[in-house]
A and B are shown apart, each in its own frame.
Chain A
Amino acid sequence: MFRNQYDNDVTVWSPQGRIHQIEYAMEAVKQGSATVGLKSRTHAVLVALKRAQSELAAHQKKILEVDNHVGISIAGLTADARVLCNFMRQECLNSRFVYDTPLPIARLVSLVGNKKQIPTQRYGRRPYGVGLLIAGYDEKGPHVYQTCPSASVFDCKAMSIGARSQSARTYLERRLDQFLDGQDLFLSVHFHHPIYFHEYFCACDISTVSSMHVVDLSRFPVTIFCPFLADLDDLVKHGLRALRETLPNDQDLTTKVCAASAHLGSLHLGDCCSSENGI
């Protein structure tokens, strides 16, 4: 009703105590395609649904590597996400260069939060129109964080953002204890079409896996040999199932639209391997 009077600048409060520009920016995140982040005791995984502008265009990259131990998945304005990703990369590189240590995720996330807050309180600027899911592994274990255009930062057990992400969140809420405690429950779910290509980001401590697994994972399909990685396998499956919840009924996940890149601890295994892999 009175929204229109108070929504021109980010520096204007509404009588209800809201800043509409920030809320409009959050809408931009809801326009982006869905992405899911979840973690177990040993791994943090991001899964994302890629969208193509048109039939001619390639599917938009949704998962970006920030460092060996951190990755982000984006929903919203891709250009804003790129800028934030560059910033995060710089910070991570700086930490490695100066302190010879990977940047702890909590610290990285607070740096991003502070950076995002600045344009929400400055006349003439606009909030970053992108929500990030930040997944990483540091000394304290795996983490999944969510950030909003409002610059709030949430530490999550699992999260989904983007279009129709509520269904994914419901799925994750229901099955939280199945993957969070690292129980290796195998769920068999049959998809109508096989999922050919996963792009997922996974960060974990390198000490939980031997070099053998590194080799295996780098050439998808992922047929996991080690019991440790059964954790990862199930985690990714949960992520993909959650993602599937966000699709309209007539569509299914295919390799072209699913995005992930695997990292293990300090080793970079390479992005987006494509090969057939049915679940």
Chain B
Amino acid sequence: MDSYLCPVERKFAPYSFNGGTVLSIAGKDYAIIAADTRLSRDASIILSRDVVRSHQLTNKTFLGICGFHGDSSALIKIVKTRLKVYEHDNGKQMPTIGVAAMLSTILYGRRFFPFYCHCIVCGLDENGMGVMFGYDAVGSYSMSSYGAVGTGTAMIRPLLDDVISHTNTDLNMTVSISLDEALQILHDVANAAAERDVCIGDAFLIHIITKHGVKEEKFTLRRD
């Protein structure tokens, strides 16, 4: 029983670390988002092997979130509701760059008790070109053509740097890659990350967004 005669320290632990990684490649006329489906806690226990981290917002935009799953669920609800309001008011779906800017403001709105969510918004812009935006926990974002967030960032990002934009190599120029090449890269990179990181594994859920629509693919990994 607690003593009431002296101050007692309590730990306020509002966040939980659920692991996972989301990566994305955006090309000339496609955007791919891949998210792993393992939900873990504190890098020590697997809570689920088929959690969904990438959410479709419109027929052209996806939002991938990793970090704390509770905050991620709440955030996706807020974003989807705001998207609905936009549709009612404007008679059309919000474009990808609009979603990106809006997400930044939503995240910054919680600057002093942040969503523990690292997000990627990816999709097609109004001209049909693939775009991708990476975020930090409080809404700082920038556009790029590939990126990764989550536990695998440190492993995946350098790999993508090397293979797609060839930075830090003698070549050092971005090569335009086709959809199939991008999928192959994604496959290899995801595998590599899953092999080494405990929080990543089980399966990768891939969504390919093109002007023809959204295609979903899943490739399973070792369940260890």
Contact = CB atoms under 8 A, between A and B. Distances in A.
A97 to B, nearest CB: 5
Interface in A243-279: 268, 271
A96 B81 contact: yes
B91 A93 contact: no
Q: Interface centre among B77, B81, B84, by most A CB within 10 Å?
A: B84
Interface in A55-109: 65, 89, 93, 96-97
B49 to A, nearest CB: 23
A89 B88 contact: yes
A162 B169 CA distance: 73
B85 interface: yes
Interface of A: 65, 89, 93, 96-97, 268, 271
Nearest to B78: A97
Contacts of A65: 88
B83 to A, nearest CB: 11
Nearest to B91: A271
Interface of B: 77, 81, 84-85, 87-88, 91
Contacts of B88: 65, 89
Given A65-B88, A93-B84, 10 more contacts: A89-B85, A89-B88, A93-B81, A93-B85, A96-B81, A96-B84, A97-B77, A97-B81, A268-B87, A271-B91
A89 B85 CA distance: 8
Contacts, number: 12
A93 B84 CA distance: 8
Interchain residue pairs A-B with the least CB separation, the first 5 = A97-B81, A89-B88, A93-B81, A97-B77, A93-B84
Contacts of A89: 85, 88
A16 to B, nearest CB: 42
Contacts of A93: 81, 84-85
12 contacts: A65-B88, A89-B85, A89-B88, A93-B81, A93-B84, A93-B85, A96-B81, A96-B84, A97-B77, A97-B81, A268-B87, A271-B91
Nearest to B82: A93
A193 B146 CA distance: 55
B89 to A, nearest CB: 9
Contacts of B87: 268
A233 B85 CA distance: 30
Contacts of B84: 93, 96
Contacts of A268: 87
Contacts of B77: 97
B62 to A, nearest CB: 18
A203 to B, nearest CB: 16
Nearest to A66: B88
A271 B93 CA distance: 12
A96 B83 CA distance: 13
A65 B92 CA distance: 12
B217 to A, nearest CB: 19
B223 to A, nearest CB: 30
A93 B86 CA distance: 12
Nearest to B85: A93
B8 to A, nearest CB: 35
A65 B84 CA distance: 11
Contacts of A271: 91
Contacts of B85: 89, 93
A259 to B, nearest CB: 14
Contacts of A97: 77, 81
A7 to B, nearest CB: 37
A35 B81 CA distance: 30
